[in-house]
Amino acid sequence: MFEKVLVANRGEIAIRVMRTLEELGIASVAVYSEPDRDAPHARRADEAYLLGPGPASESYLVVEKILEVARQSGAEAVHPGYGFLAENADFARACDEAGVVFIGPPASAIDAMGSKTRAREIMAEAGVPIVPGTTDPVETVDDARRVIAESIGYPVAIKAAGGGGGKGFRVAESEDELEKAFEGASREGEKFFSDPTVYMERYLPDPRHVEVQVLADEHDNVIHLFERDCSVQRRHQKLIEESPAPAVDPELRGRIGKIGTDAARAVGYRSAGTIEGLLQDGEYFFLEMNTRVQVEHCVTEMVTGIDIVREQIKIAAGEPLGYGQEDVVVRGHAIECRINAEDASKNFAPAPGRIGSYIEPAGPFVRVDSGAEEGYEVLPLYDPMIAKLIVWDVDRVASTKRMLRALGEYEIGGLKTLIPFHQALLATEQWANGETCRDLVENKDWLKELAFPAPDKAVGEDEPEKVSREYAVEVSGRRFDVTVIGEALAANGAGPAAAAKKAPRRERKSGGGGGAPGELVSPIQGTVLKVAVEKGAAVDEGALICVIEAMKMENEITAPSAGTVEELSVSEGGSVATGDTIAVIK
């Protein structure tokens, strides 16, 4: 087994991996960017090293820097978590070449599954059912028109070959929408994956998103840990996940489990992976394979009792799986809610900012995987998911009640999060009936009822006096914690006590919040993809003003109230910073 492992990630998943490393008796090495110098994941590790500036392209995504830290620290293996370099075959290869074990699948499997057309071809050959459509790329709109007429029919889904997770996904209901959908999918594929190639699938009208967790070792053992249902999504971002899936009975469970292991075998898989698929009217179709540990792996851990990250690490060390298929049983029901710094009432706009008070729920069968704490600042630079709340109980009804209890205990002061959204959604009849809840997550009026009250008073007031200070220091780029105890320096002759009192923190402008009356400020930094209004236009409350792309996500910015667009400060293709004025609507 390894003695030291580098965790090439941040936030909750980095901490999640470190916990298992500690249980295995393995030392952990964190990496961090400049704004993450004091982040929980950097402090949680046995050692931590600075990578570089905040943007991921200068820190968490720089392969050479990460391998340099592996060398410097003596880490024998790298766990990539999810996101960042987790599905980067070049990174997996660079690890191999540097003699560092990549805790994940072979680079060849990442490559094969990264191309969605290759993945479909491999699966079709292996007898895995795929959504009917093309496995070869479709070159032109004319070709698309012909293939649709011959075999697929309308409605049709056009998807980018380099895509996945909904990126570069368009639907054409009829022939008049085909050209726009084709070009949209191709453009997005080019932009995000430098590949304009698209393919087509029959568009299923109201499927469920059901995925299978698989584990495969070097010794030809491939097992599945049953399924998860992730149908509650918004713009292809999963919000709530559960296991077992409410629409899957024991017969279907066996069938899709086998589809999962067949798919893993077909690509020579090793490590933990997920087969994503669509379930419609009892028929299951392969969609794509995720060659990493997923955000929602925890619900599977809760119902099977298997630590998926532990298995991943053991597999990477060459050990055989600790379980045969017959050892894996599903018990009870688990639900996960993603706790994102987002405002559901404002189109799920990102809501970065500093956390004031922070109290996590606890009690029986409640698990919180978090990367946040009191005083933590959610940065617009990174993913807005700050924590996951996972509960277990004997069945779906009991699990839902437990989740509502735990959500009620969760206190995150000074920050807008999805907690009220989850509380509202889990209380609906749609959720109770096991529906996909698509009508709710797309319903602006329903979401508007989740608006947040006026912001709390500034964080940092009335804090107790303190003359013990903790600092992070870096010695040759390696991070150490030091506690400095003594009299605080008097700032203006007012004595130690007054100086030790924290200065009130600067209030941040956030979406629709701060600013002059009628001023709409950007909650994020990004590129303006689209401007939907003109200066002088009359807009209704909730009307689309512009679309800002940040972190590969398209964020719709909407009017906080009805009025006239008196000023418009953005233009298509331009960039905006957090707090910049987008428009003045009076």
Contacts (CB under 6 A) with ligand MV4, residues 92-131: 131
**Is 367:349 a contact under the CB 8 Å cutoff?**
no
CB of 231 to ligand MV4, least distance (A): 4
Q: How many angstroms separate the CA atoms of 110 and 404, rounded?
A: 38
Closer Cβ to ligand MV4, 60 or 199, answer by number? 199
Closer Cβ to ligand MV4, 2 or 431, answer by number? 431
Closer Cβ to ligand MV4, 132 or 364, answer by number? 132
Closer Cβ to ligand MV4, 274 or 304, answer by number? 274
Paired strand residues for 539:
563
Contacts (CB under 6 A) with ligand MV4, residues 431-460: 436
For residue 36, CA distances in Å to 8, 361, 506 come to 13, 25, 19
Question: Among 197-205, 308-316, 318-326, 465-473, which window interacts with ligand MV4 (CB under 6 A)?
Answer: 197-205
Question: Which residue, 208, 295, 282, is CA-closest to 251?
Answer: 282
Q: How many angstroms separate the CA atoms of 477 and 92, rounded?
A: 25
Q: Does 236 bind ligand MV4 (CB under 6 A)?
A: yes
Q: How many angstroms separate the CA atoms of 28 and 127, rounded?
A: 41
CB of 283 to ligand MV4, least distance (A): 12
Tokens of 145: 């028109």
CB of 263 to ligand MV4, least distance (A): 17
Host H or E run for residue 20? helix 11-23
Q: Does 294 bind ligand MV4 (CB under 6 A)?
A: no
The one among 115, 117, 233, 578 contacting ligand MV4 by CB under 6 A: 233
What string marks each residue from 129 to 168 as x (binds ligand MV4 by CB under 6 A) or -? --x-------------------------x-------xx--
Q: Does 266 bind ligand MV4 (CB under 6 A)?
A: no
**Is 481:469 a contact under the CB 8 Å cutoff?**
no
Please provide residue 540's backbone torsions phi and psi, each rounded to the nearest 5 degrees. Answer: -85, 160
First-to-final CA distance of the chain: 64
Q: DSSP states of 289-342 as a string?
A: EE-S--TTHHHHHHHH---HHHHHHHHHTTPPPS--GGG----SEEEEEEEESE
Contacts (CB under 6 A) with ligand MV4, residues 315-344: none
Contacts (CB under 6 A) with ligand MV4, residues 200-229: 201-204, 207-209
Closer Cβ to ligand MV4, 208 or 396, answer by number? 208
Kindly determine how many residues on this chain lie close enough to bind ligand MV4 according to the rule CB under 6 A: 17
> Applying CB under 6 A, which residues contact ligand MV4?
131, 157, 165-166, 169, 201-204, 207-209, 231, 233, 236, 278, 436
